[in-house]
Amino acid sequence: MAPTMASTMASNSHRLTTERQLGSEQGEAFDRRLRERERAGREERLGHLLLGHDEPYCEPAAGPERAPLGVDELRREVDRLRAFHDAVQRSRAWRLTQRLRGAVGRAW
């Protein structure tokens, strides 16, 4: 006996729901891994900045080591980074990008 149209539609609906749920779970797992990698990268860069290394993967034996930054130098660096961050946040391109990302489900 051939499946009825109603049972075929119900089967397709169930399959689509299952696929959407699976896609959502995969997207969330990818997003979680991406956030973890971004956090680890930020922590590493901050550690290198605080230790006075110019390059992110610089080994102490690879060249002359800079003295650690002083409090005033750190404050200037933080102020410089804050000004850059604020400029990016106010830019039209950034806002447009965030609106587009929001439409597809990942807004910062």
Helix residue ranges, H only, the chain = 5-51, 71-90, 92-104
Task: Say which residue the tokens 């005033």 belong to.
Answer: 72
Q: Is residue 16 part of a domain?
A: no
pLDDT 10s digits, 76-93: 999 999 999 999 989 998
Mean pLDDT of the chain: 80
| pLDDT tens digits, 42-70 | 888 887 777 766 554 545 555 556 667 78
Write down the pLDDT at residue 85.
93
Q: How many domains does the chain have?
A: 1
| CB atoms inside a 10 Å sphere around CB 74 | 13
Domain that holds residue 108: 70-108
Residue 104 located in a structural domain: yes
State phi, psi for 10 to the nearest 5 degrees: -65, -40
